A and B are shown apart, each in its own frame.
Chain A
Amino acid sequence: DQQVKQNSPSLSVQEGRISILNCDYTNSMFDYFLWYKKYPAEGPTFLISISSIKDKNEDGRFTVFLNKSAKHLSLHIVPSQPGDSAVYFCAARPTGGTSYGKLTFGQGTILTVHP
């Protein structure tokens, strides 16, 4: 069963506009969420994260929103730039107890930003 889902395999956006990437999760034990960005032939690189005690976290052009009741999070990129073109993965982890940080990833969304 897919505990973290990214239902849009791809997204195409014009440079300067907003990109919105979505992610849904089913496991209520998850309480920390991360977004990773991946270029071809490279490993994922950390982008931004959010704890379940917050509903928004912002870092420059990147903002992550968390709706716990809907088990949904989204990543907003404003303004989008061609260099943002990559695969974006949503990941989740539980905290507390015996957890040590094992990440569960979604399938990824390919973002293409057109000049």
Chain B
Amino acid sequence: AQSVSQHNHHVILSEAASLELGCNYSYGGTVNLFWYVQYPGQHLQLLLKYFSGDPLVKGIKGFEAEFIKSKFSFNLRKPSVQWSDTAEYFCAIEGRSGGYQKVTFGIGTKLQVIP
């Protein structure tokens, strides 16, 4: 079985503050890793993903995430947040399950950026 844990359910930051959202996963095999973002009133969008290669992944809007295999982590970072980053962020993993690729989502972290 695979699972995803997001430690912070609600984060409030001031503009220009640095952001780090934690994500840990549990899976015994090879995984692909994702961060999705859901802006208010909009659908889930891919922020960035890791399949293989450089464990430091850069995504859209200045976000990046680092895959640390030894820690089973894939934390999301941004050096300076903006008000427009207010959204809900979901970490997800894709592992092999019963011959099908299955994606499991974390519970999400709501980020509120205060101007």
Chains A and B are bound partners: no
